[in-house]
Amino acid sequence: MEKDQLFSLLDDFKIETPSWGYADTGTRFGKFLQPTAAVTIDQKLADAGTVHRYTGCCPTVAVHVLWDFSMGVDATATAQVASRNGVRIGAINPNLFQDQVYKFGSVASPDERAQAHAHRHVNDSIHIAKAVGSKLLSLWFADGTNYPGQDDIVTRKQRMHGALRQWHDAMPDDMTMLVEYKPFEPAFYHTDIADWGMAYIFAREAGPNAKVLVDSGHHYQSQNIEQIVAWLLDEQMLGGFHFNDRKYADDDLTLGSIDPYAVFRIFHEIRTAAEWRNSDVSQIAYMVDQSHNLKPKIEAMIQTVTTAQEMFAKACLVDRDKLRDAQSRMDIVDAESCLRDAFFTDVRPLLAEWRKRRNLDPDPLVAYRAGGYAQRIAREREAARAASGGGSGSAYA
Q: Using CB under 5 A, which of the segments 68-76, 227-235, 242-250, 375-383 binds Mn ion?
A: 242-250
* Total residues at interface with Mn ion (CB under 5 A): 3
CB of 327 to Mn ion, least distance (A): 34
Give the pairing of strands 190-191 and 144-145.
antiparallel
Measured CA distances, 335 to 63, 142, 260 (Å): 42, 41, 19
Q: Using CB under 5 A, which of the segments 102-110, 160-168, 194-202, 287-295 binds Mn ion?
A: 287-295
Measured from the CB atom, is 24 or 289 closer to Mn ion? 289
Nearest to 60 by CA among 18, 20, 8: 18
Specify the DSSP element, H or E, that contains 118: helix 112-132
Is 219 one of the binding residues for Mn ion (CB under 5 A)? no
Measured from the CB atom, is 48 or 374 closer to Mn ion? 48
Is 242 one of the binding residues for Mn ion (CB under 5 A)? yes
Measured CA distances, 132 to 23, 81, 86 (Å): 21, 11, 14
Is 215 one of the binding residues for Mn ion (CB under 5 A)? yes
Specify the DSSP element, H or E, that contains 286: strand 285-288
CB atoms within 10 A of CB 84: 12
Measured from the CB atom, is 241 or 343 closer to Mn ion? 241
Nearest-5° Cα angle at 84, 79 to 88: 45
Measured from the CB atom, is 85 or 216 closer to Mn ion? 216
Applying CB under 5 A, among 24, 289, 310, 361 the residue interacting with Mn ion is 289
Measured from the CB atom, is 192 or 361 closer to Mn ion? 192
Question: DSSP characters for 225-280?
Answer: HHHHHHHHHHTT-EEEEEE-B-SSSS--BPTTSS-HHHHHHHHHHHHHHHHHH---
Q: Using CB under 5 A, which of the segments 9-17, 51-59, 196-204, 288-296 binds Mn ion?
A: 288-296
CB of 239 to Mn ion, least distance (A): 12
Measured from the CB atom, is 56 or 217 closer to Mn ion? 217
The answer to whether the Cα torsion of 41, 290, 9, 354 is positive or negative is positive
Q: Using CB under 5 A, which of the segments 25-33, 125-133, 207-215, 230-238 binds Mn ion?
A: 207-215
Is 64 one of the binding residues for Mn ion (CB under 5 A)? no
Please answer whether residues 66 and 41 qualify as being in contact, where contact means their C-beta atoms are separated by less than 8 angstroms: no
Q: Where does this chain bind Mn ion (CB under 5 A)?
A: 215, 242, 289
